[in-house]
A = this chain, B = another copy of it.
């Protein structure tokens, strides 16, 4: 009996797929034609593979990466947040609240020395202080907030080390 290969191999990437993902991570605007030339294939297989990678969720989205300082955001700060109460309801409440703040660009629930790690962008120290005092610290259930100000971005996101 015949077993459909498509069924078995769904969500299995090969070397070509990995190469495509690497190229698209480096440059989301690279053309299908350009990828095809680099991988010694024609546009059709590349086009179909890219669409498949998008459809199956390997590629979540495409984004323009901005220069935050040029955009007027001089400060990048990481905050280690510790909560008082840790029942699910309290966690959900905190997570819902924190998402509202546009200054918070990332938020992770972590296992370690504190509860949440958040990344904040602010125009300047004054705005950051305003965020901290009037927004973050005003949330109920906050026990401790420890700020780390970014001085240098030694390495910023280049691309995932796909195994």
Would A108 and B153 count as touching, CB distance under 8 A? yes
Interface size on A, residues (CB 8 A): 65
Question: Closest residue to A96 on the B side, CB-wise?
Answer: B154
Tell me, yes or no, whether A26 is within 8 Å of chain B by CB.
yes
| Docked complex Cα distance between A21 and B110 (Å) | 31
* Cβ of A6 to closest chain B Cβ, rounded Å: 18
| Docked complex Cα distance between A147 and B103 (Å) | 25
| Docked complex Cα distance between A33 and B112 (Å) | 47
Chain B residues whose CB sits within 8 angstroms of the CB of A152 once the complex forms: 95, 108-109
Would B155 and A106 count as touching, CB distance under 8 A? yes
Residue from the set A21, A63, A70, A113 with the largest chain B CB neighbour count within 10 Å: A63
Would A59 and B65 count as touching, CB distance under 8 A? yes
| Docked complex Cα distance between A151 and B146 (Å) | 20
- B-contact 0/1 string along A70-93, CB 8 Å cutoff: 111100101000000000000000
Chain B residues whose CB sits within 8 angstroms of the CB of A105 once the complex forms: 155, 157-161
Tell me, yes or no, whether A156 is within 8 Å of chain B by CB.
yes
| Docked complex Cα distance between A153 and B150 (Å) | 21
Would A149 and B110 count as touching, CB distance under 8 A? yes
* Cβ of A3 to closest chain B Cβ, rounded Å: 24
A interface residues (Cβ-Cβ under 8 A, vs B) = 11, 21, 24-29, 56-68, 70-73, 76, 78, 95, 98-99, 102-114, 116-117, 121, 123, 146-163
